[in-house]
Structure 1
Amino acid sequence: MFQNLRHRLLVSYLVVLASILSTFAIGVRVVFTRSLTHQLTERLSALGQGAAANAEFDHGRFRVGEDFSTQDLTARGQAIQWFDSQGKLLNQEGKAVVSLPLATADAVQIQTGQPRLQAVTLPILGSDDQQLLGYVRVSQSLAEVDENLQKLDLGLGGGILLALLLSGLGGLWLTRQAMQPIEASFQRLQQFTADAAHELRSPLMVIKSNAAVALKYPEAMRPTDREKFAAIASATSQMTKLTEDLLLLARTEKDTQTDGQTFNLTPLLTGLLQQYVPQAAAKQLHFKSHVAESLAIKGDAAQLTCLVDNLIANALHYTAAGGTIAVQASQLEHTLVITVQDTGMGIAPEHLERVFDRFWRADASRSYWDGGSGLGLAIAQAIAHAHDGSITVSSQLGVGSCFTVRLPAV
């Protein structure tokens, strides 16, 4: 139980830490990407301003100075295009040329594909009258930017994985340290419950035996005294059942894993089901059962019998006359599946999570029935967990309930 709780705490801690680190990494990447894009835009704008300043318009053509040679532009992964005022391409230098339509002045364009390109368009104005002569578009490959972003992603991803690994190791130690006081307190509570239940057995047996003796010879007592002794005997039986169940529950939870022998569960289930046939008939219930011929399992035979016994007893109690109780046991691959289904009163959806709690009842006003202790389902769950199995319930009000036990098969 505590091992599962430690794992859940550790996983929750790692999920929260991973979410925080991922958010931080995304923020860093967004800021870094914007910074690189802004720097590249500034460089292209400076290059474009220089190209616009050195361009000369002569008889419909631009003359480019020696500062913008094709060799230098190609080496830097850049290109320059000159357009007239109507957007017609007049000249271009470099290989990183953008094929997109010309945008308005002072516009930034991104061309996807391979390679990715970024372009900045600037107007070319006359030096005297500031008349629009044309446009210059400067572009550059984003290969270097993409490479830097890829390195950043690898660094951030590796850092997150390393942080989660180190945090996981530290979280194992922290959860173990944090759970030690809780485990120690729970073990003391278990030991106290077991000791108290064990010590209560002797005085209860004395009370029960004396009440039985008094009821055996009723001649010397008044009728009212006989009723009182009968009430004492009934209450003593209920308290005895309660102490026995508390002792069994404490022992089962203390032994988180049961090392039993391998045996065939079929004869035990068949014998147990035969014992309930008369009770079902007396209550006018339809009792159905189907048990596979061979159900090999490793565990404690008495505990597993108690598990199924508690489930059937619970179904008998909550199923009205004329209802049906169906018990099935089969093997699916490496799992033994035992189901106890009834057509009883059912359980409300908001109460399904509490059906295995100790002493919990859907009807708070209900007292213990037929000597029941209110621990039957809690004991069944503890036995299932002790055998590395599980128990689940599905129910619908007014339709019935179905308890399913899954245990590892041999």
Structure 2
Amino acid sequence: MATESLSLAPPVAERPGPIGWTRRNLFATPFDVALTILIALFLLWIVPPLVRWGVVDASFTAPNRDLCPADGACWGIVRDRFHQYLFGLYPVDQYWRIFAGGLLLILGCVPLAVRRFPHKVLYGVAFMVIYPYVASWLFEGGGPIQPVIDTPLWGGLFLTLIISIVGIVASFPIGIALALGRRSTMPVIRALCVAFIELVRGVPLVTVLFMASVMLPLFLPPGWSIDKLMRALVGVSLFSGAYMAEVIRGGLQALPKGQYEAASALGLTYWQSMRLVILPQALRLVIPGIVNSFISLFKDTSLVFIMGLYDLLGISRLIVTSKEWLGHDIESYIFAAFGFWIFCFAMSRYSQRLERRLHTGHRH
């Protein structure tokens, strides 16, 4: 029986460039065409008025509300109170302390970014123990040289970064300990960890902060007091640690059982297998979930206003209550939202870069 060899047809050529991309992504089907037209009409309806209000008719140099335009935004509030958005009510002549603390933090983190830095783990632990004491002495002061600056005067982006950085650094080991405890074979340890995680995850953060602000002092001995900021740091760290525990537990459960058996076959102890085999793989698998928890924690710092602390959002509220800028809430809140977005977007992009570098998608 004769067979006829058929030549393969050439692949369908796709038009390159922006026209081809537009055809594939915006006008591929009738539904895509209709949806694209509706979105374009919506943008034409909402974007021009926003541009006219925020740019064309806006004022960027008005020193107070009396000189602001009637129909446009008044971004002079950002220029006039920019230092308060950054540092709250911190004394202006003491800003050098914040800059010094930030510089020390950056310089201290540089060795951690070097891949082959010797004894990196030991250095990281020492840095996390020593730096908080140095930063606390710089920011709060004390002694004959440094005037004391009470924590209620701290605010703005400075306070947001303090709460978020401390919460992120503290919640990570707390989450690891709780995740390991929840999977422990010891009933008491497992029950305590499960009870803590479910209790904390069952209430909103605002409730935890309210309890730390109002109820905690009632249980302290007479004459004892804990700073508001310290209460907020403890509450945020414990709350975030409970959520972090569930993220890490998901990574531990995602590992094949063979990894645990291989570590046991090598004669490793429980802590050696967790440190050298299990945790590195589990943490790599849940990088997106960990970063998502960090981003959520960064945004949740705005809830500390119930404790009388003025973070970036809180100081934005406080600024618009002054007589110079009364009534310009929208501009103030937009600037605060832009600040939150910058840091959250940066964390998201860094996590994607970290995923690509660690090959979390198992690509070869």
> Quick check: TM above 0.5?
no
Higher relative contact order (CA 8 A, sep 6+): 2
Higher percent of residues as helix: 2
Would you tell me which structure has more strand in proportion to its own residues? Answer: 1
Which band: TM-score by shorter chain? under 0.3
Larger gyration radius, structure 1 or structure 2: 1
